[in-house]
Structure 1
């Protein structure tokens, strides 16, 4: 079982799994567990078929807290790739427009995948030659994914930590945060470091809870949003 399968296994049977708000733009996107899995599968097919990501391939992700970031993280782990914090050690770097220069400067051996994070699927224009435009390419890939080979529990998944270790850490974080199945978690946490990703995303999934992620939060609106979204916990 891949890390992605383990994380999505406890997903709620009904209702949203990830709800993304950007208070700077007014964007709201809601994904069910099935839709999240489909996006992760489409992204995994892209990474496998076009980038040759397979068990052990190091991949860096330079992206903000966003539903597409969740999809590509899950995609990397579906392929058995290893998430690495240092892009200079990566074979592939996935980045948005704000981090594209840093991704290119890392000179990854495979290349760069650029994400526009556009709510309507618009790609990025004027990309350097060889950079893959995620929004354009991902749409042609299937929403079911079967890896080339099973991903063992002792395979590296994140900066040398194994699949089993990352899953155990996510479950421990969920316990420490008091998250449980059925919780609806409102979070404004950044995913810019390992702690933010582990506690702000993986712990929520591992607990079988659902996530309401707010970026560029309007602090005055959070209490009302928590009530509207029927949130039970806040990070």
Structure 2
């Protein structure tokens, strides 16, 4: 079973993920479950737009994702503030399992850390009419988790997690000035991180050789 198939299967039970013995007849999304309980879904937006967000220019949005880009200056990478959240789930930030090998109940709780780290809601990645369906954003999540969160670490030895880069915003890279973006990436993605496998960390770690600028589009195929 490949990663995408396993991940799709794991997303049905307990409201949005499949139990090991199969999905319930009429699964509800985590958002729907929490609305019935009188709670707001994790990461749900307030009545006003998030500060520092604007409509993206054509072609800048990730397929299947919100069409926003940050208007505020890009923030430097930071040590994760979510180590305790993951420890409470029995997970070690320095030795995280692959998403496709995680128990469905634990996987659901980990996804709540995604909504917190990215300021997102469940429907930003899931198809609201079919939470089990694979989407472009689910594919990106698999790569981000397995290639970055598990494959890289901060050179300082501090905790690296989704919030280290996103810091509450799904889209945090400003692509309007490629020169400034390249300098920011060199300073943060290259100089501040290293590969866990001990190999040399450079632009090709993420972009490959030959250099592929739009890796997110490649991941969604």
User: What's the TM-score bracket when you normalise by the shorter of the two chains?
Assistant: under 0.3
Higher percent of residues as strand: 1
